[in-house]
């Protein structure tokens, strides 16, 4: 299929002294059909060319050469250069591509490139709470989209399975383990033990010393401590898997912090060789004052390792093992400083520049609860499993009210409830804080997951009523030249471009907003046009367009991690 945006970019590049990537990033899709299908704003060129944007646009128009079979008209409007594409050409190309490609919008642009995505990463023996939702669903969406575009993707669940808290847990279990049945709700029981031993540490320094000694023994491989640590880890993972099963989350690696314990020695050696590892108040640090940051602690004053050291060991391991082009870390914006520090220190490990350049922190905002809307068992901690199950239950009640005779209500309630939670998380820019409100999340009319699912179900129903998908050869493009049809065709033609933009910015909300736009545009088309009619040619065209919408909605939602019900 012709990529009109790319073709326009190439022609402008022949006239304007700008990099093609920069030109393409400027090109817009006008909201008004009267302003063409693509627009190139010339305002950013005014300063360098010392001309008004309107004169620059006119100069480009005079000198540009376009394929008139594809671009029928080029117009200047103020400081914009507007391009009008051949409508019948774009209709035919989109429908043919929809017909022949089950994975419409995919490509091989990522062929030969490797992406490592570090996401989810809960702390062992602690509640898997609502705060872990964003990293899990943002990471999964990026994983799916990169893979769809041909990249080799490695999804890593970098478990928080190491650290001084395990010394405390081991000591607590030694003292009171017989009082707790860890087979029943193990996370809550381990949390109770942890709170209890933490209180004991505050009251008695000797208890804290015993905890530190346990962690030292764990680092040295003491059989009893390792056995308990393994037990805590396995029990935790069994509980976490319930959440992953609900969300449909999968990972290629579960190597957590503990995996890198025997690899930290090399990191320290490399940093010593760099001459940048210095003593400071008994600890060993990398001074980052010249970079405007506090020092990065590599070894604590008591000789134990740090989170940063393990992250540096992970960078070294991932570069060697996966030969990555990008290594993405999906964590909250609270960790911005941490990642700035380790990315800076990673420059001292002797890695190829491509590995340093590929490091990227994909930060996101917090989940804010709409007070009074959800009950919490653990004070201010909302268990993610409880949240997801409540979403399913609320979806089930809505289905009972709206369509009590619906078959497979349990399965549909799960798809709607989970889909609603995922979409709500991915609907806005990831860096913004998310406000969780049940009335909004499960609204079938607003810009929500259920609205997209409902639109999809409507498209499936229409195609079914029409007797199935007509052959593409029976679709006459002249019957899709009206404005409402063209708007849909243009949106569908941009599906691949939207996916590319997601990977360029690591921003899944671009796809979420796109799907909302497709659903809303189709609803307008549906309201303006009867689809099942006597005129067979017109019906075939409109039914096929409906099928194309259903395909894009299902593919796009699937990439976000949302399953589509066939009925609602």
pLDDT of residue 485: 95
Tens of pLDDT, residues 463-504: 999 999 999 999 999 999 998 999 999 999 999 999 999 999
Please check the confidence at residue 379 and state whether its pLDDT lies above 70.
no
Task: Specify if 279 maps to a domain.
Answer: no
pTM: 0.92
Neighbours of 189 (CB within 10 A): 19
Tens of pLDDT, residues 71-104: 999 999 989 999 999 999 999 999 999 999 999 9
DSSP designation for 347: G
The mean pLDDT value for 372-399 works out to: 74
Please check the confidence at residue 311 and state whether its pLDDT lies above 90.
yes
Tens of pLDDT, residues 414-471: 999 999 999 999 998 999 888 777 778 888 778 999 999 999 999 999 999 999 999 9
Task: Specify if 171 maps to a domain.
Answer: yes
Q: Rounded to an integer, what distance in angstroms lies between the CA atom of residue 483 and that of residue 480?
A: 8
Cα dihedral 309, 311, 317, 318 in deg (nearest 10): -160
Q: Rounded to an integer, what distance in angstroms lies between the CA atom of residue 228 and that of residue 113?
A: 40
Task: Specify if 563 maps to a domain.
Answer: no
pLDDT of residue 31: 81
Task: Specify if 44 maps to a domain.
Answer: yes
> ∠ CA 83-86-88 to the nearest 5 degrees?
150
Q: Look at residues 24, 54, 85 and tell me which one is the last residue of a structural domain.
A: 85
Q: Rounded to an integer, what distance in angstroms lies between the CA atom of residue 123 and that of residue 233?
A: 9
* Overall domain count for the chain: 2
Task: Specify if 497 maps to a domain.
Answer: no
CA distances from 497 to 147, 510, 516, 521 (A): 15, 11, 16, 18
pLDDT of residue 43: 93
The mean pLDDT value for 496-521 works out to: 96
- Give the domain extent around 74: 4-85
Q: Rounded to an integer, what distance in angstroms lies between the CA atom of residue 82 and that of residue 166?
A: 63
Q: Look at residues 53, 85, 117 and tell me which one is the last residue of a structural domain.
A: 85
pLDDT of residue 378: 38
Please check the confidence at residue 244 and state whether its pLDDT lies above 90.
yes
Percent helix, percent strand, percent coil in the chain, to nearest 5: 60, 10, 30
Of residues 221 and 323, which shows the higher confidence score?
Answer: 323
Task: Specify if 240 maps to a domain.
Answer: no
Q: Look at residues 85, 120, 149 and tell me which one is the last residue of a structural domain.
A: 85
Task: Specify if 532 maps to a domain.
Answer: no
DSSP track, 223-277: HHHHHHHHHHHHHHHHHHHHHHHHHT---SB---GGGGGGGHHHHHHHHHHHT-E
Q: Rounded to an integer, what distance in angstroms lies between the CA atom of residue 38 and that of residue 122?
A: 44
Task: Specify if 267 maps to a domain.
Answer: no
CA distances from 114 to 151, 318, 351, 355, 435 (A): 6, 11, 17, 11, 34
Predicted confidence band at 374 (pLDDT cuts at 50, 70, 90)?
Answer: very low
Q: What is the mean pLDDT of the chain?
A: 92
Neighbours of 567 (CB within 10 A): 11
């Amino acid at each position: 299929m012709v990529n009109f945006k790319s073709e326009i970019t190439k022609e402008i590049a022949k006239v304007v002294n700008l990099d093609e990537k920069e030109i393409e990033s400027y090109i817009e899709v006008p909201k008004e059909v009267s302003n063409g299908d693509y627009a190139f704003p010339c305002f950013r060129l005014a300063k360098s060319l010392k001309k008004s944007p309107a004169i620059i646009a006119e100069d480009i128009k005079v000198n540009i050469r376009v394929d008139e079979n594809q671009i029928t008209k080029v117009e200047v409007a103020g400081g914009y250069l507007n391009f009008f594409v051949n409508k019948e050409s774009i209709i035919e190309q989109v429908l043919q591509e929809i017909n022949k490609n089950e994975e419409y919008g995919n490509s091989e642009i990522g062929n030969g490139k490797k992406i490592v995505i570090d996401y989810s990463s809960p702390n062992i023996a602690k509640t898997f709470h609502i705060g872990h939702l964003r990293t899990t669903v943002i990471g999964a969406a990026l994983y799916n989209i990169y893979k769809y575009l041909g990249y080799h993707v490695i999804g890593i669940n970098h478990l928080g399975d190491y650290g001084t808290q395990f010394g405390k847990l081991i000591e607590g279990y030694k003292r009171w383990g017989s009082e707790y049945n860890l087979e029943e709700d193990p996370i809550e029981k381990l949390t109770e033990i942890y709170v209890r031993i933490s209180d004991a540490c505050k009251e008695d320094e000797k208890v804290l010393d015993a905890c530190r000694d346990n962690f030292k023994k764990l680092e040295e491989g003491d059989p009893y401590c390792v056995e308990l640590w393994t037990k805590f880890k396995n029990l935790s993972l069994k509980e976490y898997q319930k959440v992953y099963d609900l969300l449909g989350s999968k990972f290629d690696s579960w190597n957590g912090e503990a995996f890198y314990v025997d690899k930290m020695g090399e990191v320290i050696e490399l940093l010593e060789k760099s001459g940048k590892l210095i003593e400071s108040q008994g600890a060993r640090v990398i001074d980052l004052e010249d970079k405007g940051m506090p020092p990065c602690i590599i070894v604590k004053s008591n000789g134990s390792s740090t989170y940063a050291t393990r992250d540096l060991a992970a960078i070294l391991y991932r570069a060697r093992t996966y030969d990555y082009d990008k290594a993405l870390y999906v964590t909250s914006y609270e960790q911005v400083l941490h990642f700035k520090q380790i990315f800076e220190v990673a420059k001292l490990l002797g890695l190829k520049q491509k590995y340093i350049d590929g490091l990227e922190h994909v930060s996101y905002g917090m989940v804010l609860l709409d007070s009074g809307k959800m009950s919490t068992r653990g004070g201010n901690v909302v268990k993610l499993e409880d949240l997801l199950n409540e979403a399913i239950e609320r979806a089930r009640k809505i289905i009972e009210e709206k369509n009590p005779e619906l078959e497979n209500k349990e399965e549909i309630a799960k798809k709607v409830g989970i889909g609603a939670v995922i979409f709500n998380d991915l609907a806005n820019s990831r860096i913004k804080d998310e406000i969780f409100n049940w009335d909004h999340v499960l609204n079938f009319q607003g810009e929500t997951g259920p609205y997209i699912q409902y639109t999809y179900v409507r498209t499936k129903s229409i195609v079914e009523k029409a007797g199935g998908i007509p052959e593409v050869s029976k679709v006459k493009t002249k019957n899709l030249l009206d404005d409402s049809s063209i708007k849909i065709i243009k949106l569908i033609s941009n599906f691949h471009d939207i996916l590319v933009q997601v990977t360029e910015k690591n921003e899944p909300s671009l796809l979420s907003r796109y799907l909302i736009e497709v659903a809303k545009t189709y609803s307008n088309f549906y309201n303006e046009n009867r689809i099942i009619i006597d005129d067979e040619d017109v019906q075939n065209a409109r039914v096929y367009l409906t099928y194309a919408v259903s395909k894009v909605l299902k593919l796009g939602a699937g990439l976000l991690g949302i399953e589509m019900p066939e009925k609602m």
